[in-house]
Amino acid sequence: MTNAAQLAPPVRAGIPRFLRRHPTMIAGGTVLAAIALAALLAPFFAGDPATMMPSERLQSPSARYWLGTDHLGRDVFARVVHGARVSLAVGIVVAVSSIAIGVVIGMIAGYFRKADPVIMRVMDALMAIPAILLAIALVAVMRASVGVVMLAIVIPEIPRVVRLVRSVVLSVREAPYVEAAQVGGTRLPVILVRHILPSTVPPLIVQATYICASAIIVESTLSFLGAGVPPETPTWGSMIAQSRMYLPRAPWTVFAPGFALALVVLSVNMLGDGLRDLLDPRMSRRM
């Protein structure tokens, strides 16, 4: 028995070692956490994003206005911080809901051979719809709101999740431990939840970060095009759209939200890459 105990990997290697091995993941996670905290506490420190001060239009960054003001005399810093609320909310909600829906459909497609071709053809059709086009159509039909934007992004993301889950289920359902459970009389729902579902979690966590990043970009694009959330809500995309005419005179009005957008997407992707390496079974073997 001592032999097996020696062969077993050490449980946790300690925090410093963890930091040293995954610098990008830690950096991405830290930046993201800071931005999320700022977005959460925005009403308490960032000031009002809607107050217009016509006398102080297009001010350059100063001690009073950290990131200057825009063409209507609004505080760019306050608007960027408030804009993070919309971006992160869209990113998280889209990631969580597309995965929640995709997992269920993917498990059905992967496990039930009869359902598989039908579901996958529907998914192929959904995948052919561009998010931006769908959003413009939906906004034309319904009233523009954050919910409509999320729906428009979730629908084309679902097939990606379904494909991923299906491929994992297809390989795991043939695993001897799943067959052993069948032979032991384990009920189907238990087999699905207890023996198959956990294998899909690591790739899904990684996929979630990518969906999150792409949702943030799509949301910004929609806002830029004016097909996104209502114009009175400050978002990075609409800030860039409204300020682009003033780019030569007041570059901060475009660069501040643009930089915030790039930073968030980069952090999310760095976190995702780190998680992918961490959760890869071949890597964790060496931990």
Partner 1 sequence: MTKPVLSVRDLTTSFRPDIYSPWTPVVRNIGFDVAAGETLAIVGESGSGKSVTSLSVMRLLPPRGSRIEGEIRLAGRDLLALPEQEMRKVRGGDIAMIFQEPMTSLNPMMTVGEQIAEAIRGHLSIGSAEARQETIRLFEKVRLPNAKERYDVYPHKLSGGQRQRVMIAMALATRPKLLIADEPTTALDVTIQGQILDLVKELQEETGMAVLFITHDMGVVAEVADRTLVMLRGDVVEDGPTAEIFGNGRHPYTRALLAAVPRLGSMAGRALPSTFGLIDTATGSRGAEREAAPPVADKPAVLEVKNLTTRFAVRSGLFSKVTGAVHAVENVSFSLQPGETLSLVGESGCGKSTTGRTILRLTKPFSGTVLVNGQEVGATDREALKSARRAVQMVFQDPFASLNPRIPIGASIAEPFLEQKLGGKAEARDKTAALMHRVGLLPTMMSRLPHEFSGGQRQRICIARALMLDPKVIIADEAVSALDVSIKAQVCNLLMELQESLGLAYLFISHDMAVVERVSHRVAVMYLGEIVEIGPRSAVFEAPQHSYTKKLMAAVPVPDPSRRRMRRNTEVEEIKSPFRIPGFVPPKSVYKEVSKDHFVQVRC
Closest distance of CB 131 from partner 1, Å: 33
Closest distance of CB 209 from partner 1, Å: 22
- Residue whose C-alpha is closest to residue 216's, from 33, 90, 81, 28: 90
DSSP string, 198-247: HHHHHHHHHHHHHHHHHHHHHHHHHHHHT-SS-TTS--HHHHHHHHGGGT
Query: In sequence order, which residues have a C-beta less than 8 Å from that of residue 283 and are 6 or more positions away?
Result: 277
SS3 85: helix
Sign of the dihedral defined by the CA atoms of residues 12, 16, 22, 28, in that order: positive
Element (H, E) at 74: none
Interface residues toward partner 1, by CB under 8 A: 1, 3-5, 7-9, 17, 175-177, 179-187, 190, 194-195, 198, 286
In angstroms, the CA 230 to CA 80 distance is: 16
Residue among 31 and 205 whose Cβ is closer to partner 1:
205
Closest distance of CB 224 from partner 1, Å: 44
Closest distance of CB 178 from partner 1, Å: 8
Closest distance of CB 183 from partner 1, Å: 5
DSSP lists the bridge partners of residue 69 as 75
In angstroms, the CA 267 to CA 214 distance is: 12
Residue among 185 and 248 whose Cβ is closer to partner 1:
185
Residue among 184 and 248 whose Cβ is closer to partner 1:
184
Closest distance of CB 127 from partner 1, Å: 23
In angstroms, the CA 165 to CA 146 distance is: 28
Closest distance of CB 27 from partner 1, Å: 20
Residue among 54 and 185 whose Cβ is closer to partner 1:
185
Residue among 125 and 180 whose Cβ is closer to partner 1:
180
DSSP string, 154-183: HHHHHHHHHHHHHHHHHHHTTSHHHHHHHH
Residue among 48 and 179 whose Cβ is closer to partner 1:
179
Residue among 33 and 287 whose Cβ is closer to partner 1:
287
**Tokens at residue 21, please?**
């091995």
Count other Cβ atoms within 10 Å, centred on residue 251.
14
